[in-house]
A and B are shown apart, each in its own frame.
Chain A
Amino acid sequence: GAGVSQSPSNKVTEKGKDVELRCDPISGHTALYWYRQSLGQGLEFLIYFQGNSAPDKSGLPSDRFSAERTGGSVSTLTIQRTQQEDSAVYLCASSLRWEGTYEQYFGPGTRLTVT
């Protein structure tokens, strides 16, 4: 597709369940990023990938969060044993390269609600 796509667009889950969020970057983009936006908060960096490797996982809030990227394309963000504070919009972005001088283009996000 022309832009970054994410699925699902909305996810409601019960506390304690695991969820998987998917991101499909722009074709040809080698770098992929995950951010989180909580109600009334700015965007918070979670993790980024250069190809299939993740040089910077510093933003993952706890060990319940993990992400992987296979084939240099699609990425999955997994949250285990979800908590109510995990409720947020999870945004994925991609860029041509990772060095910080390439524009990041965002997907529409997944709104996660933990009940």
Chain B
Amino acid sequence: EDKVVQSPLSLVVHEGDTVTLNCSYEVTNFRSLLWYKQEKKAPTFLFMLTSSGIEKKSGRLSSILDKKELFSILNITATQTGDSAVYLCAVGQGGKLIFGQGTELSVKP
């Protein structure tokens, strides 16, 4: 059975901390791995990774994929209260995305 597992499920940190969110997967016909941020309703796109070992970076966020070990990490440095959200990992399989349960990040002032 195809599955995407995220850890931890929830995390509480203080502003300025660095966090690492994990995503492991067992999915047939892997095409890509995507990270989304969900604050209210619509998940907003962060990164898409297709190749191992190539870091993608946007501001304080970065992500990398390991296709041999079947996992990805999302790093957030110098966290801010505005980073509080649920972070979703999804694997593209053919035409659909298979999502993990999400990691709920809470950043305290």
Contact = CB atoms under 8 A, between A and B. Distances in A.
Interface string B24-68: 000000011010100001111100101000000000000000000
B42 A33 contact: no
Contacts of B102: 42
Interface of A: 4, 31, 33, 35, 41-45, 48, 50, 55-56, 59, 89, 91, 93, 98-101, 103-109, 111
A109 B42 contact: yes
Q: How large is the interface on B (under 10, 10 to 19, 20 to 34, 35 or more residues)?
A: 20 to 34
A50 B95 contact: yes
A45 B98 contact: yes
Given A103-B48, A105-B45, A109-B41, A42 B93 contact: no
